[in-house]
Each structure stands twice: as structure tokens, then as C-alpha cells.
Amino acid sequence: MSMSSYTIEIHVADSVADPIDTTLIERSVIAVLSHEEAAGPVEISVLVASDNELHILNRDYRDVDAPTDVLSFANETDDNAFVAIPGAPCYLGDIAISYDRVLAQAAEYGHSPQRELAYLAAHGALHLLGYDHERGPASAADMRTREEAAMTALGLSRDL
């Protein structure tokens, strides 16, 4: 799936039985990239999977033995190691979303699963761009503002 100079590749694991609105995920990531004026061409991969699968990824890659709602794996290769091909896309990284957490958190926060799915995709995209809510309250507030800007752009603001 692509739009403009952004390519978002979305995979839904066999463990997810519900139909997933992959277009919404794509729109959410693109809303973040556009709002943040990410220079393209850019590629991102998104996986929607189960709590168990996110638990394994969290354990294996972050040494956190627990499930989580979203993980982001930024491409941390040294872009200066090789000569870049003009016009070749920049691979920003991967996002993994737990669909089980999407459903649980949507119910907990009192909004639709679609809004939660879009929100977690936006959250993951912001991490790929270097934002991190764990750096402190100011960073968390900044990230939340950017997430809500994406939700507003999608017509999924909290007020709806």
C-alpha cells in the first residue's frame, strides 16, 4: 500500500481472526508522516498480531517478559555506510500491534476498536521518527499532542 512517497506494508498474522481495516492503519501512519513532514520516499512495515506474539517480541527484543500493545523497531543502520541510490526509499522500521490489546483498550477507554487501532499505529510511527514518551512528562505530553493531531486528521478525535 502506498500513497505519495510513503509505502506502508501491512501484514495481519493468521492468529488474528477479525477482519482488520488495513486502510485505516495506512492512513494513520501517513497522517503522522505527513504531519511530521517526513521526507520521502519512506517505507514502514506494520504487523497486526496477537497478544502472545507481541509478548514474544517484547521478551526477545526488549527483555520485557510481558505482552504490550505496540512495539516499534526503528531502522538503526548507518545510512552513511553505503552510497544511497537517488530516489530509493528510506526504510524507517517496523511496527507491531497487538489486536487483543486493541480490543481490550478500546473497551477500557470507551471508544471504538478502529480508533484504538489507528492510535496505536500513530504511536508506533512516532516512535520510528524518534519520539519517546518514556523520556519524561514533557516528552510524553509532546508525543500525546502529536498522536491526537493524527487522530484529528483522521476524524477520530477524542471528542467524537
Q: Return mean pLDDT, the chain.
A: 88
Domain ranges of the chain: 2-152
Reported pTM: 0.88
Q: What letter does residue 134 receive in the DSSP assignment?
A: G
93 forms beta bridges with 44, 74
CA distance 10 to 96: 10
Convert the pLDDT of each residue in 52-101 to its tens digit.
999 999 999 999 999 999 999 998 765 555 556 667 788 999 999 999 99
Q: Is the dihedral of CA 22, 130, 127, 79 positive or negative?
A: positive
Could you tell me how many residues make up the chain? 160
Q: Which CATH superfamily is domain 2-152 in?
A: Metalloproteases ("zincins"), catalytic domain (3.40.390.30)
pLDDT digits (tens, 9 = 90+) for 13-42: 999 999 999 999 999 999 999 999 988 789
